[in-house]
Structure 1
Amino acid sequence: MSRVSDVGTFPKDNNSYHGEKLIYPAANRNKEPILQVLKRFILHQEEDEESHLFLEIASGSGQHLAHFAPNFPRVQFQPTEIDESLLGSITYYADSCETKNILPPKQVDICNKLSNYGFIENSVDYLYCANMIHISPFKCTVGLFENAQAYLKSDALMITYGPYSKERVITPQSNIDFDASLRARDPSWGLRDINDLVKLGEENNLILIDTIDMPANNKILIWKKC
């Protein structure tokens, strides 16, 4: 059974979800463009003996990792999600992965230290977070950056995806409308400014090394741990 939602990472009514496979149309549309960017930055060779760890924060339905993982069979993908009602969908996609390199999901609140969930400092090769920064209180973004500093290996990457403002300007009009709708739903939500994120990155030894324009007025930001 599949339940279709247009709301992105967070369903409107958590009580209506019971762990079934979820299909978010937005995730179906953006998963391939994001994968093409990941192929430029995930440098893991088949002959490597050591498996690399790709940690996803706010996995939502689980569709992204299900699409990414078969393309990097030597990478171990770890999904996480704060919303317990979504763990069943993530598990469905993980169990269905032909390359069997998606680990069981963990329920994680990114505002807490990742060591609370069994992660070891300086052990993560790639930290990936899509469509959380603007659909959560800013303290979640702070937690994301603080955990990236502590748990990424030296020179490892954090990859964030979503819409952003730049120098307090939001473009185009569709993103202005989206930001307004988010803030009407929860005043603590909304598009974050790239300059603010750069400052937060500097406070946590993370440097923005690339900004990539994506379809539907989104961007991928590539951060490197110093």
Structure 2
Amino acid sequence: MLRAAAAERNKGPILAVLREYVGPGAVRVLEVGAGSGLHAVHCARALPHVLWQPSDVDPRALQRSLAGAQCAATHLPGCLAELGDMGWHPAWHPGPRHQHQHDAHLRAAVHGGPVQGSRSVAEAQSFVSPQPYAIGGRISPQSNVDFDCSLRQRNPAWGLRDTDLLQQLAEANGMCLERMVDMPANNKCLIFRKQ
């Protein structure tokens, strides 16, 4: 199974933020870039009224995810099997309301994929993204600068996303940046809400 130290470190703080934004009724959360699936399992256990849909473009994540293994082993009813890239998966494309529409969108790795994200973001009522960011064009501390450089060496289109750019993209999709929460290891959690 895949394991990720960052996912382990952030699962508690992410859950704390989500508790503030998911109501008591049934809620569907789509997690893009779920990787190991640790957030899906952790949140499905803690929030039994939430139906958690992890997804990832990496076939290794889909084959060896913690979400798939633990959900099957523990029979967590709120944790679905991981899906592939939400940018192409027909079950999650915008359209008439159906059983696959979600209320919230969690993306924990914007730096490693297209800035625009999946087409499904426009359907969500809220969008939560915990990770390091450039804020107003500036990256700090040095560990985040080094991380940004390593990402850009692997792929020039990657790198830490600037909160100003993400705010512009959110506004273009009818959302606004509601809050920025400090997270462990110099990360921030951005919460965008439908206007």
The reply to whether TM is greater than 0.5 is: yes
Residue in 1 aligned with 2:53? 78
Q: Which runs of 4+ in 1 moved over 4 A?
A: none
The count of corresponding residues between Structure 1 and Structure 2 is: 189
**Aligned partners of 2:53 and 2:80 also within 8 Å:** yes
SS of corresponding position for 1:35: helix
Residue in 1 aligned with 2:20? 40
Residue in 2 aligned with 1:102? 79
Q: What is the Cα deviation at residue 73 of structure 1? A: 0.6
After superposing the two structures, state which structure 1 stretch, 157-166 or 86-95, moved more: 86-95
Stretches of structure 1 that go unaligned for 5 or more consecutive residues are 1-20
TM-score, normalization by structure 1: 0.78
Residue in 1 aligned with 2:27? 52
The structure with the greater share of residues assigned to strand is 1
Q: Deviations over 1:113-171 (max 9, x none)?
A: x5x235554531111110x21122xxx22133x4311x22xxx2111111101111101
- Give the letter for the 1:27 counterpart: A
Return the alpha-carbon distance in structure 2 between the equivalents of residues 202 and 128 of structure 1. 17
TM-score, normalization by structure 2: 0.89
> Is 1:141 matched with 2:115?
yes
Residue in 2 aligned with 1:197? 166
- Give the letter for the 2:68 counterpart: T
Select 1:184's aligned residue among 150, 153, 157: 153
Aligned ranges 1:117-196 → 2 under 5 Å? 117-119=91-93, 121=95, 123-130=101-108, 132-136=109-113, 140-144=114-118, 146-149=119-122, 151-152=123-124, 156-196=125-165
Return the alpha-carbon distance in structure 2 between the equivalents of residues 96 and 185 of structure 1. 36
Q: Deviations over 1:186-210 (max 9, x none)?
A: 1111011101111111111111111
SS of corresponding position for 2:115: helix
Stretches of structure 2 that go unaligned for 5 or more consecutive residues are none
* Same amino acid, percent of matched pairs: 35
- Give the letter for the 2:187 counterpart: N
Return the alpha-carbon distance in structure 2 between the equivalents of residues 193 and 23 of structure 1. 27
Q: What is the Cα deviation at residue 58 of structure 1? A: 1.0
Q: What is the Cα deviation at residue 32 of structure 1? A: 1.1
Residue in 2 aligned with 1:210? 179
**Aligned partners of 2:121 and 2:127 also within 8 Å:** yes
Q: What is the Cα deviation at residue 39 of structure 1? A: 1.3
- Give the letter for the 2:58 counterpart: D
SS of corresponding position for 1:105: coil
